[in-house]
Amino acid sequence: MSARGGVVEARDLGVLGCHACGLVSRDIGADHSHCPRCRASLHRREPASISRTWALLLAAALLYIPANLLPIMKTATLFDSHADTILSGVVVLWRSGSIDLAIIVFVASIVVPIFKIAVLALLLITAQRGSDWRRPERAKLYRMIEFIGHWSMLDVFVVALLAALVHFQSVARVDAGPGAMAFGAVVVLTMLASLSFDPRLTWDSPKAPRND
């Protein structure tokens, strides 16, 4: 039995922990085993976690471009009509004096998605190399992106509410734009990516046998 730095891993003991119900059961060595209590499938490591996470992450990064270039909101009044992207919306807020609001929207819609994509890429690359670089910090980063991921939906909800509120016949009207669609997709894809990443990979060394 090999213990890593005083820590005994489930696979050293020949047991598997169930993510759904917490039961610890004996690893019978089968490729597809199921939790005896809740029937959830058990894996020593999530199969194909890295390639699945990469695929979702790249899709999210690609869609992040139209999400920022396409208008998220269209405003029409008697005098003019204009379209706002996420960033131009933040600038409008800033100029109108709502600096705190501008910062909230900027962090939720711009900083959080970029941070999430960058962190996931870092976690994937280091896990692929079996790197032992700053493992506790990497574990903390993973828990952080799991926690903040869904806050990026903020601007999508703001646009939806403004569209519902501002429709005064021909006087003033707000509509959601295609950017909102791309942006919603980015949020869903980054959430799926972080859910499909198996954080146990952060602690694996290259020599340790993988179960893929």
CA 109 – CA 116 distance, rounded (Å): 11
* Residue 43 binds other proteins, judged by CB under 8 A: no
Question: Which segment (32-40, 71-79, 96-104, 157-165) binds Zn ion by CB under 5 A?
Answer: 32-40
* Residue 16 binds Zn ion, judged by CB under 5 A: no
Of the candidates 127, 141, 176, 189, which one interacts with other proteins according to CB under 8 A?
176
Q: Which residues contact 152 (CB under 8 A, 6 or more apart)?
A: 108, 109, 112, 113, 116, 183, 186, 187, 190
* Residue 16 binds other proteins, judged by CB under 8 A: yes
Question: Which segment (80-88, 114-122, 123-131, 175-183) binds other proteins by CB under 8 A?
Answer: 175-183
* Residue 21 binds other proteins, judged by CB under 8 A: yes
CA 187 – CA 150 distance, rounded (Å): 7
Q: How far apart are the first and last CA of the chain?
A: 21
Question: Which segment (31-39, 58-66, 151-159, 174-182) binds Zn ion by CB under 5 A?
Answer: 31-39
Of the candidates 86, 112, 189, 191, which one interacts with other proteins according to CB under 8 A?
191
Question: Which segment (53-61, 78-86, 124-132, 156-164) binds other proteins by CB under 8 A?
Answer: 156-164
* Residue 63 binds other proteins, judged by CB under 8 A: no
CA 175 – CA 67 distance, rounded (Å): 16
15 contact, one of Zn ion, other proteins, none, CB 5-8 Å limit per kind: other proteins
CA 27 – CA 43 distance, rounded (Å): 9
CA 31 – CA 42 distance, rounded (Å): 9
Restricting to residues 99-138, name those near other proteins by CB under 8 A. 101, 104-105, 135-136
* Residue 17 binds other proteins, judged by CB under 8 A: yes
* Residue 71 binds other proteins, judged by CB under 8 A: no
Encode 4-27: b = buried (16+ Cβ within 10 Å), e = exposed: eeeeebebeeeebebeeeeeeeeb
Q: Which helix (H) or strand (E) holds 192?
A: helix 178-196
Q: Which is nearer to Zn ion, 41 or 96 (CB)?
A: 41
Q: Which residues contact 156 (CB under 8 A, 6 or more apart)?
A: 72, 180, 183, 184, 187
Q: Which residues bind Zn ion (CB under 5 A)?
A: 18, 20-21, 23, 35, 37-38, 40
